[in-house]
Chains A and B, each alone.
Chain A
Amino acid sequence: MRARRAAGDAKHWPGLAFGAAIFFAYVYLPIVILIVLSFNENRVVTVWSGFSLEWYRMAFQNDAILGAAINSLLIATVASVSATILSTLAAVRMATTRFFGQTGMNALIALPITVPEIVPAVATLMFFASLGVTMGLGTVIVAHTVFCIPFAYLPIRARLEGMDPKLAEAAADLFANPRRAFLKVTLPLLMPGILSGLVLAFIISLDDFVTTFFVGGAGSTTLPIYIFGLVRTGVTPEVNAISALMLLVSIALVSLSLFLGRSEHRT
Chain B
Amino acid sequence: MKAERRRTLANLWLIGPAALAIIVFMVVPLSMMAWISIQSRSYGGGVEWGNLSGEAWLRFLFERELDDSLAWSFNYLAIILRSFWLSLITTVLSLLVGFPTAFFMATRSRKWRTLLVFMVTLPFWTNLLVRNYAWILILRDHGTINGLLLSLGVISEPLPLLHNQFAVAVGLTYSFLPFMVLPIYSSLEKVDLRLVEAAFDLYANRWRVLRRVIIPLAVPGIVAGSILVFIPALGSYVTPELLGGGKTLMIGNLIGHQFGAARNWPFGAALGLFLLALVLIAMTIYVLRGRGAEARS
Contacts from A to B (Cβ < 8 Å): 1, 5-8, 10-20, 22-24, 26-28, 30-31, 33-34, 37, 44-47, 86-87, 89-90, 92-94, 97, 99, 105, 108-109, 111-112, 114-120, 122-127, 129-130, 142-143, 145-146, 149, 153, 200, 203-204, 206-207, 209-210, 214, 224, 227-228, 231, 235, 239-240, 243, 246-247, 250-251, 253-255, 258
Contacts and interface: CB of A to CB of B under 8 A. Distances in A.
Interface stretch (B51-59, B61-69, B72-80, B132-140): B132-140
Given A23-B181, A89-B17, A115 B142 contact: no
A118 B276 CA distance: 10
Interface in B253-280: 255-256, 258-259, 265, 268-269, 272, 275-276, 279
A76 B150 CA distance: 43
Contacts, number: 268
Contact of B134 (A31, A117, A210): A31
Given A23-B100, A122-B256, A47 B147 contact: yes
Contact of B100 (A19, A31, A145, A247): A19
Contacts of B177: 23, 26-27
Majority secondary structure of chain B interface residues (helix, strand, loop or mixed): helix
Contacts of A8: 200
Chain B: interface size category? 35 or more
Contact of B204 (A6, A19, A86): A6
B134 A122 contact: no
A235 B178 CA distance: 27
Interface of B: 7-8, 10-11, 13-15, 17-19, 21-23, 25-30, 32-33, 36, 46, 97-101, 103-105, 107, 118-123, 125-131, 133-138, 140, 142-144, 147, 174, 177-178, 181, 193-194, 196-197, 200-201, 203-206, 209, 231-232, 234-238, 242, 252, 255-256, 258-259, 265, 268-269, 272, 275-276, 279, 283
A37 B26 CA distance: 40
A6 B279 contact: no
Contact of B255 (A47, A122, A258): A122
B134 A114 contact: no
Contacts of A89: 13-15, 17-18
A153 B18 contact: yes
A153 to B, nearest CB: 7
Contact of A19 (B97, B137, B147): B97
Main secondary structure of the interface of A (DSSP, over half): helix
Contacts of B178: 27
Nearest to A262: B114
Contacts of B133: 34, 227, 231, 239, 243
Given A23-B98, A227-B130, A231-B136, A44 B18 contact: no
B272 A145 contact: no
12 contacts: A19-B100, A24-B119, A33-B134, A105-B19, A111-B22, A116-B231, A127-B25, A200-B125, A203-B125, A224-B127, A250-B125, A251-B126
A146 B205 contact: no
A113 to B, nearest CB: 10
A146 B29 CA distance: 12
A26 B120 CA distance: 11
Given A44-B142, A123-B272, A231-B136, 9 more contacts: A5-B200, A10-B107, A10-B196, A123-B32, A127-B28, A209-B128, A231-B133, A235-B136, A253-B125
B25 A142 contact: yes
A92 to B, nearest CB: 7
Given A26-B97, A126-B36, A214-B256, A243 B130 contact: yes
Contacts of A27: 119-120, 123, 174, 177-178
Given A33-B138, A118-B237, A122-B259, A247 B130 contact: yes
Contacts of B138: 30, 33
Contact of B238 (A87, A90, A146, A209): A209
Nearest to A19: B100
